[in-house]
Amino acid sequence: MNLTAESVAEALVVNVDEERIDAAVAIQFKDRMRDLTAGAGGRIILDLGRVIFVDSSGLGAIVSVMKFLAPAHRLELAGLTPNVGRVFHLTRMDSVFPIHADVAAALHGAGHDL
C-alpha cells in the first residue's frame, strides 16, 4: 500500500498513491495509516484524489482508521473522485467524515464543501 505523508501548516496530509482501497489492501492500508499517524499532532487529512474504487472492506478500513485516531484526531477526507464520493454518499458516511473538495480546501478550513 503506497501512502505518503507530509506536514502542511498544522495538518498531516496522507496521500493515497493507489487506485483502489479494497479487500486486497485493506489490512495494509490500516497498518500503514497507523504507522504514518503515530504521534502526529493537529489535523489528519486523507487525500483520496487518486483513488477510483473503494469497496466495503476499503470503507471499513477507513472507518477503522477514523476510530483509531479518535478522540485525539478527526480524520478528514479530501479529493473524493465521483465513484468514491458515491460510495460515501450511499452509505451515509458523508455525514460522518468532514469531506473537502481537495487538500487546498481542507487546509483553508472549508468543511463539507464537496
Over residues 82-111, the pLDDT tens digits come to 999 999 999 999 999 999 999 999 999 754
Q: Provide the pLDDT confidence category of residue 42 given band limits of 50, 70 and 90.
A: confident
pLDDT of residue 9: 84
pLDDT of residue 41: 76
| CATH for 3-107 (3.30.9.10, 3.40.50.300, 1.10.10.10, 3.30.750.24) | 3.30.750.24
Q: Provide the pLDDT confidence category of residue 40 given band limits of 50, 70 and 90.
A: confident
Each residue's pLDDT tens digit, 49-60: 999 999 999 999
Stated pTM of the model: 0.93
User: DSSP for 54-78?
Assistant: E-HHHHHHHHHHHHHHTTT--EEEE
Residue with the three cell numbers 497507523: 34
Domain ranges in the chain are 3-107
- DSSP letter assigned to residue 102: S
